[in-house]
Structure formats: C-alpha cells, structure tokens
Amino acid sequence: MKKFPVDLSLQQIAEIANGELILSHECSCNAVASLEEADEHSVAFFQDPKLENVFQSSRAGVIIISKKNDIQSLPQRNYILCEMPYVSFLRIIAFFQRQIHKPVKGKDIHPTAIIHENVTLPDNIRISANVVVHQNVNIGDRTVLDENVVINKDVKVGKNCHFYPNVIVYNDVIIGNDVNLHAGVVVGSDGFGYLWDGGKHQKIPQVGGVIIEDDVEIGANVTIDRGALGDTIIRKGAKIDNLVQIAHNVDVGEYTILCSQVGIAGSSKIGKNCILAGQVGVADHVKVGKNVKIGAQSGVPNDIPDNKIVLGYPAMDVGLQRKILVSLKELPEIRKFIHRLKKKDTHDSSE
C-alpha cells in the first residue's frame, strides 16, 4: 500500500480513471493498494480471475473493474467500471504522484553545482548538489538533475527530463524530451573496439555520438556506448531495464523493451516494438525485425525477420525450440535404446 498526502473523492477518482462510478457509500481515498492490502481509503483494481477470492474479501474503498462484469452478481461496494482496469489504476497512481512532486519552477540551482559559463539553461530547472555541467550544453525546460550528475561538453538535453543521481553523459550526446535516466546510467562512453596489429591491441577511436529520442526511460546502471563513426540511437518510446549494455552503433527501435542484463553487440539493429527478455545476447551486425519477441537467456547470432517469437541458443522459432527441449528429456532413454540395438547387432553378427 502507498499512501499520499491528498484525499480524492470517488467522483474525482472515476473522472481520472475515465470510468463509470457505481456508488454504494461515500468515502474518500488517499492510497493505492493491492486487493489484499487495501483498506477502506484505498483504490484497488481487479482484473485477474485467479484473484477472485481475494477480490470478494477485499476491504478497498473502491475497486476498478472491467465493464464486462455483471454488477448484479458482485458484492455491494463501490466500483468504477473501465475498459482496461489496470490502465485506469495506473492513471490514478500517476495522478497521486503528480500531487506530491515539487513542480520545477524557476532556476533552483544548488550552490555546490559547477556550471560552465557557456551553458544554456531554461527559466525552469532544478540542479542538485555536486552536479557538473561542461561547456556548450543546452538543457530544456523543467528538467531535473539530481546529485552528482555530470554532463560533458557539446550535449543537448530536451524538456521534462530527469537524470537521477550519478548519471554520466559524455560529450556529443543528444537527448530528447521526457527522458528519464536512472541512477548510474552512463551515456556516450567509448565503444569496445580494438585491432590486433601483430603485437598488441590497438584502440579504434570512437568518434561518433549517441542520440536518445523522446519518451525514453533507461534503468539504473545501463551503459550506452557512443558510435565508432556514426551514432548509437535509442528511438522514441523505448524502455530499457537495469544493467543493460548497448554497444557502439546499435539502433534500438521505437517502443522496444530491453529487459535486465540484455547485451547488444556493435552495429546491431533492433526493430520497432520488440521485446528482449532478461539476459538475451545479440551478436554484432545482427538485424532483428519489428514486433519480435526473444525469450530469456537466448543467444541471437543471426538475423530475425519480423513478427517472430524465438527462444534458446541459437535463437529459433519458439515452437521448434520447445519440441527440442521436450526431446532432450528423452535422450537418456534413446541412448539406452541405441546401445541395446548396437549390442543386438553385434550379437547377430557374431552368429
């Protein structure tokens, strides 16, 4: 349960949820919670039939449910009928959060921050302690830089961005609007490029940049390398989980999701609206089409066409991979059977 220092009427909640209020009794709510944890001042939602018993016994002040439910068959209580209960529940959480977050108004700059004189700051910005901003940086309106953020020279940051503590942005990076970089993110570090000259590994200069488009969220301790010549690109609406490594010149498509510990090698292209589950590894110069789903811990050494669901190493069609996995369980018996056949063949030959 999460409580907030603001009370909302049921009518207000229904309006935020874009739903229809079915009123049993008047109350106000100042919290969001699961069905199990909810009290009489909490908003909860019900969508999963597996939670039917919990739903029946919930003490929530109001429960968001699907319009498809038959109200007459449900316990008498406050409901809000919505097309998509979980989506409406998220709207309510977001509304509560907006009420407690301090709005970014004016230039709120901590005295320990170091800002180069050749930096363009907006009228509304919050810069916390020990932030360092180098020369020729342009930052958009209502952006927040938390403690110990470092932004190197020749960087452009859009509006409504939030860089959490210890984010490092190297030079020659372009970041769009509404971008969140969580703690420890590093953007624009050198790509991993070396050439064996017969005696040692010679470093290949990494002189490209990074472009992060609008509405991107990047989890804690993600590293995004700069391009070797061109740019590494994270396109609009992409969401990246914690501990992801994105190598030089990778192109991550619009609205694609990269789950924790995904690693993408250099110059690979991930299409629009893909999902790469945890610990997926993508080899260099691979092209993954749009609407592709790749199962956890899969290895991708080759291109994948559009609209595929793949799994395993090497990643292949999920149906085929499941058959292979089922077959693996039978290998011990198959081995015994083959061994018996060999013994029988040897015995027959000796006769």
Active site residues: 248
User: How many whole angstroms separate alpha carbon 148 and alpha carbon 117?
Assistant: 19
Could you identify the residue written with the tokens 């940049």?
209
Counting every residue written for the chain, the total comes to: 351
Q: Which residues contact 46 (CB under 8 A, 6 or more apart)?
A: 35, 55, 58, 63, 64, 65, 85
User: How many whole angstroms separate alpha carbon 225 and alpha carbon 189?
Assistant: 5
What tokens were used for 273?
A: 């609206």
Name the region of 172 (left: φ>0; alpha: ψ -120 to 50; beta: rest): left
User: How many whole angstroms separate alpha carbon 151 and alpha carbon 134?
Assistant: 6
User: How many whole angstroms separate alpha carbon 213 and alpha carbon 257?
Assistant: 14
User: How many whole angstroms separate alpha carbon 215 and alpha carbon 209?
Assistant: 19
Q: Which residues contact 66 (CB under 8 A, 6 or more apart)?
A: 47, 81, 82, 83, 84, 85
Among 137, 146, 139, CA closest to 160: 139
Cβ(167)–Cβ(181) under 8 Å?
Answer: yes
What tokens were used for 144?
A: 């927040």
Cβ(29)–Cβ(61) under 8 Å?
Answer: yes
3-state secondary structure string across 204-263: CCCCCEEEECCCCEECCCCEEECCCCCEEEECCCCEECCCCEECCCCEECCCCEECCCCE
Among 65, 2, 59, CA closest to 30: 2
